[in-house]
A and B are shown apart, each in its own frame.
Chain A
Amino acid sequence: MKKHLLFLFVALALLTVLAACGGAATPTAVPEPTEAPLAEPTEAAPVEEPTEAAAAGGGNYVLVPKNLGNPYFDTANTGAQEAAQELGVTVTYQGSSVADATEQIQLLNSLIAQNVDGLAISANDADALVPTGKEAMDAGIPVVTWDSAIAPDGRDVHINQAESQGIGAVQIQMASDLAGGEGQIAILSATSTAPNQNEWIGYMEEELKKPEYSGLELVATVYGDDEDEKSYNEAMGLMQTYPDLKVIIAPTTVGIAASARAVQDADKVGQVFVTGLGTPNQMREYVKSGAAPQFALWNPADLGYLAIYTLNAIATGEIAGEPGDTFEAGKLGSYTIADDGTILLGPPTVFSADNIDDFDF
């Protein structure tokens, strides 16, 4: 009996030794991975890139989304990569698999451990990430947040995609247009704890108190957790619970597409309209089918672009990251840090059948 166990272990030991050899072989193939462990932006060219990054004299930044596999964040990354090319720095795109603060903290800890030159983070939890953000800044790593902020103690600068009030207002405006000024509306959000979502919903509720929106009735706010299937089911549930529902506002890219699909599948195009925040490529078919005739968004690529320019300005010492500091951000022009330590990207754009084909992101 023992012999067989022994055999198994020997076999396993052999495998692990093989594995160890394989592991040892990988780094030797890459010149000096110790100096630029972050700098392998493509699978195709892992050999040349690290040397380039080393030649650029540091500038290893990491763009951290809330989670991976979300087209919104992927688009932000295209902007960040564009900025990286212009600046001659390296930007790695690293995120946790789920939008969860615990996993994001683990990820940030490993990035701090690698002594990266700067972090651009979309936070899953404004407060829970404060100790980690502080830890990074103590280690001399500048922290810029974008999309969703870390509380001021845990970051240098936050880049606001747009004023929350403006975002709330534009969505109620679109909902009112689509509902013809009166009727039931509902909100389908991401997670119930996402700070930006809740701020927008707060402003939407404020906006609804205005006399011109007195015909609109907010009947429910539901949460699809930024998961496609759950958002789809929540949208279906809304249409069943409220047969007279006119508009679903989904201030999340996952939620809006899932809701529009639900409206199509329920055969309610023309009866229930979806609006909110989405990306043109993802919403194009629904704009054309009439399930979601209008939606708004800032350009996430610009957001990623500005985040990297801001990070670079702080990391290179061009600015200190204090309120009042002004810097140039390439094609976007000049930005100034506001008194509350934030930078405003610009107003959101409304997309409809008229202009959607002008955009490709």
Chain B
Amino acid sequence: MTTIHEENNKLTPQPKRRSLDFFLRWEWLLVALIIVVILVNSQLSPYFLNLRNMMRATSDYMEMGLMMLPMVFIIITGNIDLSVASTLAMCASLLGYLHIQGVNIWIAALAALLLGVLGGALNGYLIARVKLPALVVTLGTYAFYRGIAYGLLGDQAATGYPPAFTFLGQGTLGAIRFPLSAVLFIICAIIFGLVLHKFTFGRYLYAIGNSEEAVRYSGVSVARVKMIIFILSGFMSALAGVVIAARFGSTRPDVGTGLELSVITATVLGGINIFGGSGTMIGAILALLLIGLMRFGMGLVNVQGQVQSIAIGLLLIFSILLPNAARQLSRRGLQIQRGTAVSALVMLALGGFFIWFFFWSRIPVLNQ
């Protein structure tokens, strides 16, 4: 886990470049929260700081992570992709379907990746060329792709993948049992991080998120950039689909239902502005780590599933409210106006509520 962090520290943009931008500090808040979560959890459960346990839990979040990387790109441009989990299911189902038909598993995996590219291209075409809103298009393909998944496999499960393939999702490296899927995630995260922060392409993404018109007038093909990011999203979702099929050793068409919301949650919690224009890759990765650690910790002290979701949801609202209030404060200087005061109060109340809830929820809830 720490490796992800360290490896990507290099990717953090130099604070000098945009020193007034609050979001550059957002990552530090996430780091602080992660440290708090680790401290609290290690106090509460003796099983938390067990490397083997952590490594086992890590692989639960890698598919989410793989889909989150292109989601960061998409949200930075002010768009959204709701179809990622459906694309994952569609591609995993194609893989399973081809496997049942007796096709070689690696060829099937390749076909699944190709289908992901096609799915992303359809999203991209409708959004970039036909100029439909991303929310509507991907809401449509969200249902459409999931439907294809059911069409391919019906209510049966594809099983019996060869061990060489399931190793991709279940395999581990070395004595610490570092999951192979996490290695894949780290490699992808480095590539996506570099592209976002060190390449011209990344700068286009921020520019589109801030002012699409300005980018268009400066001679950059906005449509092509959008096309590329949605294709990337389709491809990464397909990759996540292949990984999840390998991890489960089977595929059902309902695989990963609702995962798109977790992906968007991690992205927004990572400080990526939902309206586009700002955010960093390291923030998103830290948010993923934070969510993973929180869920793992809460699981260890037997906090019920719904309660875990409430905790993550509150954290998300808090994370959106905090920068808002801070921006208002910094804009208005010392003058405390009513709006600022109210939002600060709401924020404090919510923060307090969250912390109270966080601990209340740790009382293991048991029926009867």
CB-based contact B252/A106 at 8 Å: no
B153 and chain A: residue at smallest CB distance: A193
A104 to chain B, nearest CB (A): 9
Residues from 34 to 63 in A contacting B, C-beta threshold 8 Å: 34, 37-38, 40-43, 46
Verify if B333 is at the interface (C-beta below 8 Å from A).
Answer: yes
Q: Known contacts A1-B20, A4-B330: does B351 contact A131 (CB below 8 Å)?
A: no
Give a binary string over B324-347; 1 marks a CB under 8 Å from any A CB, 0 the rest: 011001100100000000000000
A294 CB–B CB distance under 8 Å: no
Judge whether B249 and A38 touch: CB under 8 Å.
no
Interface centre among B29, B244, B257 (most CB of A within 10 A): B257
- On whether the beta carbons of B44 and A193 are closer than 8 Å, the reply is no
A107 CA / B40 CA spacing, docked (Å): 20
Map CB proximity to A onto B241-255 as digits: 1 under 8 Å, 0 otherwise.
000100111101111
A114 nearest in chain B by CB position = B47
Q: Which A residue sits closest to B302, measured CB to CB?
A: A94
- Give the contact stretch, choosing among A10-18, A155-163, A252-260, A321-329: A10-18
Indicate if B25 sits at the interface (CB-CB under 8 A): yes
A254→B312 CA distance, assembly (Å): 27
Instruction: Assess whether B202 is interfacial by the CB under 8 Å rule.
Output: no
Residues of A75-97 contacting chain B, CB below 8 A:
77-78, 81, 92-97
Find chain B residues with CB under 8 A from A67 CB: 305
Which residues of B sit under 8 angstroms from A11, Cβ to Cβ? 348
Q: What is the 8 Å Cβ interface bit string for chain A, positions 1-43, against chain B (1 contact, 0 not)? A: 1101100110111011011101110110000011001101111
Given contacts A1-B330, A9-B25, A127-B248, 10 further A-B contacts (CB under 8 A): A16-B36, A37-B300, A93-B366, A93-B367, A95-B305, A106-B57, A113-B57, A128-B248, A135-B56, A192-B253
Name A's B-contacting residues (CB within 8 A).
Answer: 1-2, 4-5, 8-9, 11-13, 15-16, 18-20, 22-24, 26-27, 33-34, 37-38, 40-43, 46, 67-69, 74, 77-78, 81, 92-98, 100-103, 105-107, 109-115, 125-128, 130-131, 135, 151, 191-193, 198
6 closest Cβ contacts across the A-B interface? Answer: A110-B299, A127-B250, A97-B305, A128-B248, A113-B53, A23-B40
Please name 9 pairs of A and B residues whose Cβ atoms are closer than 8 Å in the assembled complex, sorted by A. A8-B325, A23-B40, A43-B365, A43-B366, A69-B306, A77-B367, A101-B252, A125-B157, A127-B157
Chain B interface (Cβ within 8 Å of chain A)?
Answer: 20, 22, 25, 29, 32-33, 36, 39-40, 43-47, 50, 53, 56-57, 60, 150, 154-155, 157, 159, 166, 170, 244, 247-250, 252-259, 295-296, 299-302, 304-306, 308-309, 322, 325-326, 329-330, 333, 348, 351-352, 355, 358-359, 362-368
